[in-house]
Amino acid sequence: MVTVPKEFPKTQRITWTLTANGTTTTIPFHMHVDYNLTPFKSSEESPNREFNAPPVLKFAAAGPTFMGPAITLAKAVSRTATAGAAMPLDLLVDDDALYSNGGNGPLSNAGAPVNVTVSKYRGPGTVKVGDARPKFEGLKGGKPMEPYSGKASTTVTFSEPGDYVLHVTVNDYSGAGGGGSGCCWTNAMIKVAVGGATSTNGQ
């Protein structure tokens, strides 16, 4: 997000330049209303004239909530695990099940209201996710425009001790990257302190 002064003219252009692996990419943009996007509220109305918002994610019923893509390590939840042993991971999601598709007609092949991806963000060893895209059990709703609640579970196994970070992404009907409206998905991070395996032969 780039904050500009209140008097910033709509014809003024801003250029974002990023250099990675020896390649420089430059992206210009300006304040045209057609590009006024936010990852916390869809830029297009749903059929009921409300606006889609990102799913709400929790890892425990009484745990902290995550909503939208603005995640930092400072907000990550913490877990402990043992190398070689599967760490259970529960996911609880609530979503408004709203969508926008330009014409506001019914969704064709709507699929599940939400889907989740669990992956390694960083850490010294390899990470095996039992089901990297676990399926949700619906607790409420399940169709477009019906508020949805669901839960899913998977496991994560770490190959060696060390400090790891897992990355979790939840998408709703808008799909990966939020589709044309630039909304709505939720990211979260989990910091996992992985200890060494306990010996079982007394050595």
- Per residue in 130-185, pLDDT (tens digit) is 998 999 999 999 999 999 999 999 999 999 999 999 999 999 988 887 766 778 99
Taking phi over 0 as left and psi of -120 to 50 as alpha, with beta for the rest, 174 belongs to alpha
Rounded CA-CA distance 30/81 in Å is 47
**Is residue 29 situated within a structural domain?**
no
Averaged pLDDT score across all residues of the chain: 87
**Is residue 87 situated within a structural domain?**
yes
- Per residue in 13-48, pLDDT (tens digit) is 788 788 888 888 887 777 666 556 677 888 888 888
The answer to whether 124 touches 135, Cβ cutoff 8 Å, is no
**Is residue 201 situated within a structural domain?**
no
**Is residue 74 situated within a structural domain?**
yes
Which one of 9-13, 74-78, 172-176, 195-199 scores highest in mean pLDDT? Answer: 74-78
Partners of 186 in the beta sheet? 170
Q: Is 184 helix (H, G, I), strand (E, B) or coil?
A: coil
Instruction: State yes or no: pLDDT of 202 exceeds 50.
Output: no
Q: Is the pTM of this model over 0.85?
A: no
State both tokens at 44. 């297009």
The answer to whether 159 touches 124, Cβ cutoff 8 Å, is no
**Is residue 62 situated within a structural domain?**
yes
Give the CATH number of the domain where residue 68 resides.
Answer: 2.60.40.10
Residue-number span of the structural domain to which 42 is assigned: 38-195
CA atoms within 13 A on the CB side of 186: 22
Burial class (CB in 10 A: 0-12, 13-18, 19+), 69: middle
Rounded CA-CA distance 36/43 in Å is 7
Q: Is 74 helix (H, G, I), strand (E, B) or coil?
A: helix
**Is residue 22 situated within a structural domain?**
no
**Is residue 113 situated within a structural domain?**
yes
State both tokens at 95. 């979503």
**Sorting pLDDT into bands at 50, 70 and 90, what band is 104?**
low
**Is residue 8 situated within a structural domain?**
no
Q: Average pLDDT, stretch 117-127?
A: 96
- Please state the domain count of the chain: 1
